[in-house]
């Protein structure tokens, strides 16, 4: 309730508690039926499990058709019958619900944060998570990164609303550009594939699905009693419909972030421009393993660069501006690439403190056709500030060259899969 208030939700809030007269200074009602209106839009439930069927009955009397059941103590704790009873009650009255055993929901377009942590910043990433903590971590990273979310939905036991309902919802949600998901299991694999196929060419879907090893799969089954199924089949299914698979929680976030901020590039040819030779090499290795083409500069391009750069710069790809560079030098180089059609993506690696990196990167973004992605590493306090600034101007930045290049490879993977659709979109 504190987060609903602090989140700035503009609708009416009716706190309910049978024991108390006030919650956080707000007058309480002893039960749902005492609320002085006839129709309730949404009921957020955080009472002990055994009371929930009764609460659902009350909700029905107030014509509620949506609920979020945060409380645990159901199937995951061996109380299957109680969960079934909640499902039946909900079905009887036509109440759709999220949970139980979840961390709530956030939808920033209407300032509703009925979840934790507090999420207020608006953005275009939706995160659907079967793990509250993974969702919270994702939300925390958006905050640290000066970015926002459109929505966070904690799935919990998925007794009613599941990933398929939510993909459908976000596919038409105008505030959402990319859907990130942490899923421990999928109830209906075929339905998941079908919905994925119909939506992913309009909105990228990123999925992290753990339990890929034998013991990991057993752990997944104990956690949410999901039918874990075979990881390889799931993997192949994603590949077949163009859903992007993340291998770690970082990748789930990084891939969502790059789709949130970047356009889909026209090709897979990437130029790395760096002040740190080492970081350039690390990025190149990741590119080579992930189908990103570290293109060879043509001799006429090299000539242009040789004329405009100090002689100690290493003209190649990576293009090493070396340690004495400032942000303007990156800009001077990228400006010259404006009409070069054999470069699709530029990765700028800012190694060590480089002030005003965001200002110059923004100019590049405005002036050239290539997608601009950045990595900022080893830059201390200046880095901390510039990372916020870069995201402020809509340019993704990553804390290591490996993470930056893996994120780029996700863009490329998507482009390769949907080449035709994307060309269509770009007309």
In the region spanning residues 343 to 362, those forming contacts with its own copies, defined by CB under 8 A, are 351-353
CA atoms within 13 A of residue 401's CA, in its CB half-sphere: 24
**25: exposed, middle or buried (Cβ count in 10 Å: 0-12, 13-18, 19+):** exposed
Cα dist from 46 to 15, 59, 113, 374, whole Å:
11, 14, 14, 42
> Could you say whether residue 377 binds its own copies (CB under 8 A)?
yes
Ordered strands of the 43-45 beta sheet:
43-45, 66-69, 96-98
Smallest gap from residue 274 Cβ to its own copies (A): 9
Choice from 65, 85, 111, 322 touching its own copies (CB under 8 A): 322
Residue 44's DSSP bridge partners are 68
Cα-Cα-Cα-Cα dihedral sign, residues 125, 146, 244, 152: negative
Choice from 137, 243, 271, 410 touching its own copies (CB under 8 A): 137
Number of residues that bind its own copies (CB under 8 A): 71
> Binders of its own copies among 151-190, rule CB under 8 A?
182, 184
> Binders of its own copies among 75-134, rule CB under 8 A?
76-77, 103, 116-117, 129-134
> Could you say whether residue 50 binds its own copies (CB under 8 A)?
no
Smallest gap from residue 3 Cβ to its own copies (A): 12
> Could you say whether residue 370 binds its own copies (CB under 8 A)?
no
Cα-Cα-Cα-Cα dihedral sign, residues 200, 203, 204, 209: negative
> Could you say whether residue 268 binds its own copies (CB under 8 A)?
no
Task: Please give the Cα distance from 344 to 336 (Å, whole number).
Answer: 14
Residue number with CB closer to its own copies (182 or 414) = 182
Give the CA dihedral 130, 135, 136, 138, nearest 10 degrees: 160
Residue whose C-alpha is closest to residue 360's, from 370, 378, 372: 372
Residue number with CB closer to its own copies (118 or 393) = 118
Residue whose C-alpha is closest to residue 76's, from 219, 223, 228, 227: 223
Smallest gap from residue 279 Cβ to its own copies (A): 6
Smallest gap from residue 46 Cβ to its own copies (A): 11
Smallest gap from residue 422 Cβ to its own copies (A): 26
Smallest gap from residue 416 Cβ to its own copies (A): 19
> Binders of its own copies among 184-223, rule CB under 8 A?
184, 210-216, 218-220, 222-223
> Could you say whether residue 140 binds its own copies (CB under 8 A)?
yes
Q: What are phi and psi of 362, to 5 degrees?
A: -60, -40
Whether residue 327 contacts residue 360, with contact meaning beta carbons closer than 8 Å, is answered with yes
Residue 160's DSSP bridge partners are none
> Could you say whether residue 379 binds its own copies (CB under 8 A)?
yes
Smallest gap from residue 266 Cβ to its own copies (A): 21
Tell the residue number behind the tokens 């949130």, with chain if given.
260
Residue number with CB closer to its own copies (139 or 412) = 139
> Could you say whether residue 400 binds its own copies (CB under 8 A)?
yes
Smallest gap from residue 367 Cβ to its own copies (A): 27
Choice from 201, 256, 279, 301 touching its own copies (CB under 8 A): 279
């Amino acid at each position: 309730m504190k987060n609903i208030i602090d989140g700035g939700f503009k609708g009416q809030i009716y706190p309910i508690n049978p024991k108390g007269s006030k919650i956080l200074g707000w007058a309480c009602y002893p039960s749902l039926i005492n609320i002085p209106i006839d129709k309730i839009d949404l009921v957020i439930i955080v009472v002990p499990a055994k009371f929930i069927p009764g609460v659902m009955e009350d909700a029905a009397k107030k014509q509620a058709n949506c609920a979020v059941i945060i409380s645990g103590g159901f199937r995951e704790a061996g109380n299957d019958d109680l969960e079934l009873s909640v499902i039946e009650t909900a079905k009887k009255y036509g109440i759709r619900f999220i949970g139980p055993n979840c961390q709530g929901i956030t939808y920033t377009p209407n300032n509703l944060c009925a979840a934790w942590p507090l999420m207020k910043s608006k953005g275009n990433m939706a995160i659907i998570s079967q793990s509250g903590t993974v969702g919270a971590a994702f939300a925390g990273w958006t905050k640290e990164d000066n970015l926002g979310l459109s929505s966070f939905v904690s799935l919990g036991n998925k007794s009613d609303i599941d990933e398929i309902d939510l993909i459908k919802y976000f596919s038409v949600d105008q505030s959402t550009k990319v859907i990130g998901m942490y899923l421990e299991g999928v109830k209906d694999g075929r339905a998941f594939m079908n919905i994925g196929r119909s939506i992913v060419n309009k909105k990228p879907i990123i999925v992290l699905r753990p339990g890929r090893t034998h013991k990991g799969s057993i752990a997944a089954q104990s956690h949410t009693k999901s039918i874990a199924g075979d990881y390889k089949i799931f993997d192949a299914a994603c590949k077949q419909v163009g859903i992007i698979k993340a291998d770690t929680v970082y990748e789930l976030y990084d891939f969502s972030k790059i789709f949130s901020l970047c356009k889909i590039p026209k090709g897979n040819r990437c130029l790395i421009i760096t002040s740190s030779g080492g970081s350039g090499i690390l990025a190149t290795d990741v590119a080579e393993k992930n189908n990103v083409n570290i293109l060879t500069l043509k001799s006429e391009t090299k000539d242009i660069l040789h004329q405009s750069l100090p002689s100690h710069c290493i003209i190649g790809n990576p293009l090493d501006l070396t340690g004495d560079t400032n942000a303007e030098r990156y800009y001077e180089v990228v400006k010259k690439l404006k009409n070069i059609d054999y470069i699709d993506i530029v990765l700028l690696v800012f190694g060590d403190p480089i002030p005003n990196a965001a200002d110059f990167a923004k100019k590049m973004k405005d002036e050239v056709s290539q997608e601009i992605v950045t990595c900022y590493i080893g830059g201390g306090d200046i880095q901390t500030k510039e990372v916020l600034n870069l995201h402020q101007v809509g340019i993704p930045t990553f804390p290591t060259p490996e993470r930056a290049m893996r994120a780029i490879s996700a863009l490329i993977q998507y482009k390769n899969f949907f080449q035709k659709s994307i060309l269509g979109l770009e007309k």
